[in-house]
Amino acid sequence: MSSIDESQQRIGAVLALAPVVPVLVIDELALAVPLARALVAGGLPAIEVTLRTPVALEAVRAIAAEVEGAAVGVGSVRRPQDFDAARAAGATFAVSPGASPALIAAAPDSGLAWLPGAATASEAMALAEHGYRYLKFFPAESIGGAGALRSIGGPLPELRFCATGGIGLGNARDYLALANVPCVGGSWVAPSAAARAGDWAQIETLAREAAALRG
């Protein structure tokens, strides 16, 4: 089995854990562990921490070490060195908004399960030629939404997409009803105001609602 095949098996397993992958922007390191615990308690164990803040990697490290049952990965991966930093912090998967030649070259040796982004059929086809069958569809709502994914599924039935971007409780089911969408990504399950207030009960409730979207 090639490293890409193994990576794709692993990312497929992550995407099968729950219908929603929380996409987190963590500004305060102290919030990382209780936030992740609330999400896992609500039934959302796969957690994507975006590399958009100075504490993102330390947040990944803390979640990986302290939150039982969490499958923590990094998002907003743009450079090959992001793979190295994420793996060193304890991440098990990585998500990118797109797929550059440098990332495609580095991913097989990264040790991480990689979910590359694709916004068009051409991008999806190019990644499929490299062996990737699990892709991130981003930014979903801005590029045609569930209708676009339904159309892509016709000529590319072997590909599966985690749709992210503009998705919330009100439209998540539109995506999850599609055969080529195992899950969606979204930030609505972890409102920043609730996290700053330490309202973990609210976040756990939102996670439970999201976990029940496909049941």
Give me the active site residues, please: 48, 136
Query: What does the block give as tokens for 14?
Result: 């992550």
Distance CA 25, CA 158 (A): 31
Q: Residue 30, Cβ neighbours under 10 Å: how many?
A: 12
Give the length of the chain: 215
How does 90-126 read in b/e, with b if 16+ C-beta sit within 10 Å? bbbbbbbbebeeebbebbbebbbbbbbbbbeeebbee
